[in-house]
Amino acid sequence: MLTVVLWGMIGAFLIPIYQMTRRGDIWETMLALSSVATKSSLIMLLVAVMRDDWMMGLVGVITLAVGNAGFMLLAHLLRRMAQTGR
């Protein structure tokens, strides 16, 4: 059963990756980035349970806990860029 769930998660993971390939507003790419970050950690956690690998689960949790801080700085930088460009 976990394999089916994993395939479903991989399918959902492909959607923001496809979104990244399309031209559009940079904020849509940022949304895809936040989605990819969450989904990759969740896939890591699920595979950790499937393989009974405690260490991989720890990596997933740490990615989830610290991964988003850089994106917030990036978002603020992009906002400043949009302001000075006008």
Residues 20-79 that bind another protein (CB under 8 A): 20-21, 25-47, 49, 53-79
To another protein, the closest distance from the beta carbon of 39 in angstroms equals 8
To another protein, the closest distance from the beta carbon of 60 in angstroms equals 7
Phi, psi dihedral angles at 22 (to 5 degrees)? -85, 145
To another protein, the closest distance from the beta carbon of 73 in angstroms equals 6
What is d(CA 30, CA 70) in angstroms, rounded to the nearest whole number?
Answer: 12
